[in-house]
Amino acid sequence: MSEDKIIRCITSDGAVVISAALTSDIVFKASRIHKTSPAATAALGRLLTACSIMGAQLKQKDASITLRVNGDNSELGAVIAVSDSSGNVRGYVQNPACHTEYYENGKINVGKAVGRTGVLNVMRDYGTGEPYIGMVPLVSGEIAEDITSYFASSEQIPTVCALGVLLEKESHEVLLSGGFLLQLLPGADNSTIEKIEKNIEELEPVTTMLAKGLSIKEICDLALDGFEVEVLDEMPIDYKCACSREKVERAFMTMSDEDIRASAEDLGFAQASCHFCNKVYRLTKDDLEDLIKRKHE
């Protein structure tokens, strides 16, 4: 059973909101599915955590959000995460075997793997009409700073984002993962901003706090020290793929009859695998003929 969850809190004066997530099981699953190197695990884990938190902020039930990090000359290639409006996420990296470099303090150099320059794309799909697309240049490739910059420049919301993934030193297995997104609402005055800045300055890294046994609620309380805090909601989250045979069939049906038949030429059947969960879907020649028939109905 996954213990992963998101908690959302607001100060009683309505000036500050914070969402914090525990994503250890999600990132563990992602690392198993994609067989990621330490640098790839850390980059994907941070992006999955941010995406889950941002997904849970969507109000529309059928909405989803996609975060895509494209670093210049990146060894890791693109890093992609998708969340539904309940905070359930999935994701992948282009080159999961990417080389891992470390800072002197032993921390994984995520920015090196991701690329120090490049772009972060944010796409919100509300399930109806055109999706909303935002884009900002990367600040450092360390993900949290890039998310902060996105909110500041693209949405004019002063934001503090912290994300962390802790790996076992020898096995590189995911031990802990989590993060938070703190945002100032229009009612925030100078004294509020000063108090928040002081709290954030004194806050330890997320994985340090989690390793000490702090809950995500206690992390919210520390970030909002000196304020009266109300819990808005709390929800379980998981690594969840949205792929299905039906979706694969629909994708095939967008191709020409000729291309549909050609897709089975090499192997005697057509095959499509899901980027997010590696599930393989096979369609026999008979299945394909059936699709062609349905296409013309």
Where does the chain have alpha helices with state H?
A: 24-34, 38-56, 110-114, 144-154, 190-202, 206-211, 216-223, 245-253, 257-262, 285-295
CB of 89 to Zn ion, least distance (A): 12
CB 143 within 8 A of CB 43: yes
Tell me, by CB under 5 A, how many residues bind Zn ion.
6
Q: Work out whether 214 is an interface residue with Zn ion (CB under 5 A).
A: no
Whose Cβ is closer to Zn ion: residue 200's or residue 280's? Answer: 280
Helix axes 285-295, 245-253, angle to 10 degrees: 60
Whose Cβ is closer to Zn ion: residue 7's or residue 277's? Answer: 277
Whose Cβ is closer to Zn ion: residue 244's or residue 284's? Answer: 244
Whose Cβ is closer to Zn ion: residue 93's or residue 216's? Answer: 93
CB of 218 to Zn ion, least distance (A): 34
CB of 35 to Zn ion, least distance (A): 16
CB of 27 to Zn ion, least distance (A): 17
Please provide the distance, in angstroms rounded to a whole number, between the alpha carbons at the two ends of the chain. 44
Binding residues among 25-64 for Zn ion as defined by CB under 5 A: none
CB 62 within 8 A of CB 127: yes
Q: For Zn ion, which residue of 7, 181, 277, 288 counts as binding (CB under 5 A)?
A: 277
CA gap 37, 173 in Å, rounded: 10
Neighbours of 261 (CB within 10 A): 15
Whose Cβ is closer to Zn ion: residue 47's or residue 144's? Answer: 47
Binding residues among 236-275 for Zn ion as defined by CB under 5 A: 241, 243, 274
Q: For Zn ion, which residue of 164, 276, 281, 288 counts as binding (CB under 5 A)?
A: 276
CB of 243 to Zn ion, least distance (A): 3
CB of 276 to Zn ion, least distance (A): 5
Whose Cβ is closer to Zn ion: residue 91's or residue 178's? Answer: 91
3-state helix, strand, coil in the chain (%, to 5): 35, 30, 35
CA gap 55, 68 in Å, rounded: 14
CA gap 139, 134 in Å, rounded: 15
Report the interface residues with Zn ion, using CB under 5 A: 241, 243, 274, 276-277, 279
